[in-house]
Amino acid sequence: MTTKKIKSNIYKALENIDDSKFLKAVFEIVSAKAEIVQSFEISEEQKAILEEREKEYSHGKGKNYTWEAAKKIIRTKKNAA
């Protein structure tokens, strides 16, 4: 069984478990092996861009994209770089 398939099976199995003590134990095991990223930092420039986009959106000037359209835009920009 591939690593990808094992992960998929684990995700599916966890979805069906409601025992919080068991899930906490599993989380402790997994978090000990993997670095879990809780947050990340962005630059001042990125913060400014996000703030500007938020203003545009709140004033009805922001653009809305479907997930597929956003992925296409990102791919286009990556290819142009």
Residue 47, both tokens: 């913060």
pTM of the model: 0.39
The pLDDT value recorded for residue 81 is 66
Please report the sign of the dihedral spanned by the C-alpha atoms of residue 49, residue 37, residue 17, residue 12.
positive
The pLDDT value recorded for residue 67 is 86
All structural domains of the chain with their residue ranges: 3-33, 44-80
The pLDDT value recorded for residue 41 is 81
Q: How far apart are CA 73 and CA 81, in angstroms?
A: 12
Q: Could you report the average pLDDT of every consecutive run of 10 residues in the chain (81 residues)?
A: 92 92 90 70 88 84 80 82 66
